[in-house]
């Protein structure tokens, strides 16, 4: 396990341990949400990198079986990592995309259980409004809450290219709404989107650093069967970074990220049977070692080029 004390970046495991005084893990649940980029509100095809096959009836979770999912998650995590407490992670699709009373009901379902210390809610920036932020802020007075926003990039041309269905202006509005609240904020970025290289990635890191946030998930763009990127990738029209390039981009990003922001994810996950691009993303321990070696080689660490965050009032 990464200890964090002498590391050139702050691992999320360390952040959680400091906060909760013991091991805490995220337990994923699929509460049967959908997404405006799939249900016709913004689009029906989804993001070009999203595997919509996972959206088909029968393969999704439903709200009735949440207790089963939580129980199975507990057993799996205990077997794999030993005893722990849990943050329930509403992960699949857009987990703020439902009426507020429904959200309130779902988010509270397992609070009060001895081993549940809070929730994490993953969503798109355009699925955040004042009501959602107020709801999460109220909940955060009672339990730990993390809002996870899929920003992906600040570049509108890239967002359009992958048919993301929202703009950087919408992301910025969500970041301003979420600033200064009682919940944690986690931001997601994808490194290696078509048309992007080191410069665009640095610009995204620099722009995000201007907002107060607590943790970061970085994701390499990988190509998965059944997505709209599969065909152009096979035809050689999409070029992905190799492993050393990706690691150097991650180091670039972290150098521009405040040292208080914990790294939740270094690389994306895809089931090997669905992955079309190279499989190095599965070697997480090796990639962490590569990142340490990269920082060592540079003689640098997280935050050395990070700008100070803007001063934003709560709900600005
Ligand atoms: S926002 Fe998420 S769930 Fe919706 S299409 Fe994009 S990747 Fe898929």
| DSSP helix, strand, coil percent of the chain (3-state; round to 5) | 40, 15, 45
Taking the CA atoms of the chain, what radius of gyration do you get in angstroms?
Answer: 19
Residue 105 pLDDT greater than 80, yes or no: yes
Instruction: Taking residues 199-214, report their average pLDDT.
Output: 97
Dist. CA 36 → ligand 1 center (Å): 8
| Pocket of ligand 1 contains residue 124 by CB under 6 Å | yes
Ligand 1 centroid–CA 132 distance in Å is 19
Average pLDDT over residues 180-205: 97
Confidence (pLDDT) at 312: 67
How confident is the prediction for the chain on average, in pLDDT? 92
For the segment 139-190, what is each residue's pLDDT rounded down to a tens digit? Answer: 999 999 999 999 999 999 999 999 999 999 999 999 999 999 999 999 999 9
Taking the C-alpha atoms of residue 189 and residue 148, their distance in angstroms, rounded to an integer, is 11
Q: What is the pLDDT of residues 60-93, one digit of tens each?
A: 555 558 999 999 999 999 999 999 999 999 999 9
Residue 314: C-alpha distances to residues 11, 87, 128, 211, 256 (Å): 27, 25, 15, 12, 24
Which atom of ligand 1 is nearest the CA belonging to 51?
8
Q: pLDDT band at residue 286, thresholds of 50, 70 and 90?
A: very high
Its sign, for the CA torsion 301, 305, 311, 312, is: negative
Interval between CA 312 and ligand 1 midpoint (Å): 29
CB contact at 8 A, 5 and 12: no
Which residues make Cβ contacts (< 8 Å) with residue 285, sequence separation at least 6? Answer: none
The fold for domain 12-298 equals TIM Barrel (3.20.20)
Q: For residue 278, how far is its CA from the centre of ligand 1 (angstroms)?
A: 22
Whether 38 lines ligand 1, by a CB cut-off of 6 Å, is yes
pLDDT, tens digit, for every residue of 227-278? 999 999 999 999 999 999 999 999 999 999 999 999 999 999 888 889 999 9
Mutate which of 38, 91, 227 for ligand 1 pocket (most atoms within 8 A of beta carbon) = 38
């Amino acid at each position: 396990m990464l200890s964090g004390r002498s590391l050139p970046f702050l691992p999320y495991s360390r952040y959680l341990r400091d906060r909760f005084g013991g091991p805490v893990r995220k337990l994923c649940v699929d509460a049967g949400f959908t997404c405006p980029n799939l249900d016709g509100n913004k689009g029906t095809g989804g993001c070009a990198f999203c595997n919509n096959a996972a959206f088909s009836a029968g393969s999704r979770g439903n709200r009735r079986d949440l207790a089963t999912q939580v129980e199975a998650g507990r057993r799996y995590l205990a077997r794999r990592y030993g005893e722990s407490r849990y943050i329930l992670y509403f992960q699949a699709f857009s987990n703020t995309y439902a009426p507020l009373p429904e959200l309130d009901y779902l988010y509270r379902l397992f609070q009060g259980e001895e081993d549940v210390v809070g929730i994490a809610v993953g969503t798109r920036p355009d699925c955040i409004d004042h009501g959602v932020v107020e709801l999460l802020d109220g909940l955060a007075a009672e339990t730990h809450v993390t809002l996870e926003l899929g920003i992906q990039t600040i570049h509108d041309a890239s967002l359009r290219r992958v048919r993301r269905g929202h703009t950087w202006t919408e992301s910025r509005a969500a970041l301003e709404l979420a600033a200064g609240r009682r919940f944690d904020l986690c931001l997601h970025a994808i490194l290696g989107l078509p048309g992007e290289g080191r410069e665009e990635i640095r610009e995204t890191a620099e722009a995000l650093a201007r907002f107060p946030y607590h943790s970061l998930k970085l994701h390499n763009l990988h190509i998965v069967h059944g997505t709209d990127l599969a065909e152009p990738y096979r035809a050689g029209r999409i070029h992905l970074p190799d492993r050393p390039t990706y690691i150097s981009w991650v180091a670039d990003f972290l150098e521009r990220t405040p040292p208080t922001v914990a790294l939740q994810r270094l690389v994306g996950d895809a089931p090997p049977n669905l992955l079309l691009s190279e499989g190095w993303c599965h070697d997480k321990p090796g990639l962490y070692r590569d990142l340490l070696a990269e920082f060592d080689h540079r003689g640098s660490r997280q935050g050395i080029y990070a700008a100070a965050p803007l001063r934003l009032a709560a709900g600005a």
